[in-house]
Amino acid sequence: MSADFAAAKWRKSSRSNSEQACVEVAQARSAIGVRDSKNLNGGHLLLDRTVFTRLLNDVKAGDLDL
Domain-located, residue 54: yes
Which residue range forms the structural domain that includes residue 43?
A: 11-61
Looking at the structure of the chain, the number of domains it has is: 1
Domain-located, residue 32: yes
Domain-located, residue 15: yes
Please enumerate in sequence order all residues whose Cβ is within 8 A of that of 60, keeping only pairs 6 or more positions apart, or say none.
none
Domain-located, residue 5: no
pLDDT tens digit sequence for 8-64: 899 987 777 766 678 899 998 889 999 888 888 888 899 999 999 999 999 999 999
Please enumerate in sequence order all residues whose Cβ is within 8 A of that of 37, keeping only pairs 6 or more positions apart, or say none.
12, 16, 21, 22, 23, 24
Q: How far apart are CA 5 and CA 28, in angstroms?
A: 7
Please enumerate in sequence order all residues whose Cβ is within 8 A of that of 59, keeping only pairs 6 or more positions apart, or say none.
none
